[in-house]
Structure 1
Amino acid sequence: MGIIDSHEALRELIGEAKPTTRRKIIDHIDEHARTLIAHSPFVLLATSAPDGGCDVSPRGDPAGSVLVLDEKTLVLADRPGNKLIDSFRNIIDNPHAGLLFLVPGMNETLRVNGRAKLLSDAPFFDDLVVRGKRPKLAVVVEVEELYMHCAKAFLRSSLWDPSTWPERSTLPTLGTILRDQLALPVSAEDLDADLNERSLSQQY
């Protein structure tokens, strides 16, 4: 097994990044990043605990719901979820966070790294209202690094090409998964119906 356990061995294998690649890392939200954030309805939030345990959480809202307060600060509203609060506990213990913004149909992605904090109220909470619902919590991120990822990952995966998508009927439903994982004495169909109803009624 070719285990890589040092930075030197890793660099020898991968090589050095081009100077232009390193220069793509900036420390603020420029006009282009603002545009992409405004058009992104889906962002992944990565956090980690002090012991190194990691968490990546999907966040979805209508495009334009992530606020850009200034060139160093953005805000994500929290919406009703599973109440495990893994990301939030991590942020309290370790404020370092990473974000990956996706825009439907666009192969490039926007990565943001910075320091996060939680707020239960602020004047801008009124701007986070969706469908009449004001969030109880928001994540404020102070941007330290911002980077545009090229299209390679999305081109390799053909993520936006429906012809490559598996038939949904060939994949298990969430109800099926939960029934089997938790050994629940109910049908997958009943679970799916309940999950769908709750998802639709508790989005905000």
Structure 2
Amino acid sequence: MGIIDSQEALREVVGEVAELTQKKVIDRIDEHARTLIAHSPFVLLATSAPDGSCDVSPRGDPAGSVLVLDEKTLVLADRPGNKLVDSFRNIVDNPHAGLLFLVPGMNETLRVNGRATLVSEAPFFDSLVVKGKRPRLAVVVEVEQLYMHCAKAFLRSSLWQPETWPDRSALPSMGTIMRDQMALPIAAEELDARLDHRALTEQY
């Protein structure tokens, strides 16, 4: 294998960064970023532990649920999950975080890097209520880098084009996956029914 083990070797393969690309990275939430964040119902939160192990967690809420407090600060509410809290454990030990905001039907994405803080109470918690449920935790991100990511990945993947999507019946259900991976003595159909019920009744 042609292992790349230095910055110099990497640049020899991919070349130098274009000046325009370098200029697109800013250190604040401008009006355009505010608009995209307000219309994004889905964001990926990337964190890492002190030992370098990484985690990427999907976060979904109605569009507009991510708060922009000012040009340097945004807030994501926590919602009930599996309680592994990998992202939160990482943030407590290593505050660096990355966010990727998606807007349905839009091929470009918004990337944010910054310092994250986990909080259990703040004046803005009332603004994080969804369907009458107040979150127990929230992630506050101080923006250090913000930039738009081009459309190439979404165009190559045809992500938003339903005609390219696989037939769902050809894929294993979550119940089937859990049953097989965990060697559970239960029918996949029963697991699916339980999971569907929980997803519908315990979103918030």
TM-score by length of 2: 1.00
Give distance in 2, aligned partners of 1:51 and 1:150.
31
Quote the residue 1:79 is aligned against.
79
**Percent identity of equivalent pairs:** 81
Matches of 1:120 and 1:133 in 2, distance apart?
A: 14
CA shift at 1:122, angstroms?
Answer: 0.7
Name the structure 1 match of 2:116: 116
Amino acid at match of 2:143: V
Correspondence for 2:188:
188
Q: CA deviation at 1:56?
A: 0.1
Matches within 5 A, 1:103-182: 103-182=103-182
The Cα of 1:82 is off from its aligned counterpart by 0.3
Deviations 1:133-163 (A, max 9, x none): 0000000000000010011000000000001
Distance 2:3 2:136 in 1: 46
Distance, in Å, in 1 between the alignment partners of 2:95 and 2:62 is: 26
SS at match of 1:98: strand
Give the superposition deviation at 1:3.
0.6
Q: How far did 1:112 drift?
A: 0.1
Matches within 5 A, 1:39-118: 39-118=39-118
1:33-75 C-alpha deviation (Å, 9 max, x unpaired) = 0000000000000000000000000000000000000000000
4+ residue runs over 3 A deviation: none
- Whichever residue aligns with residue 38 of structure 2, its letter is A
Which amino acid letter does the alignment assign opposite residue 134 of structure 1? R
Q: Give the 3-state SS of the residue equivalent to 1:176 in structure 2.
A: helix
* Deviations 1:75-103 (CA, angstroms, capped at 9, x unpaired): 00000000001000000000000000000
Residue 197 in structure 1 maps to residue 186 in structure 2 = no
SS of aligned partner of 2:200: helix
In structure 2, the partner of 1:15 is 15
Which residue does the alignment assign to 1:35?
35
AA in 2 matched with 1:40: S
Q: Within 1, Cα distance between the matches of 2:39 and 2:69? A: 16
Matched residues in 2 for 1:94 and 1:35: separation? 29
Partner of 1:76: helix, strand, or coil? strand
Hey, what's the Cα distance between the residues in 2 that align with 1:149 and 1:87? 23
Shift of 1:126: 0.3
- Residue 81 of structure 1 aligns with an amino acid whose one-letter code is G
The code of the aligned residue for 1:57 comes to: S
**Matched residue type, 1:176:** T
| Distance across 1 between alignment mates of 2:184 and 2:12 | 51
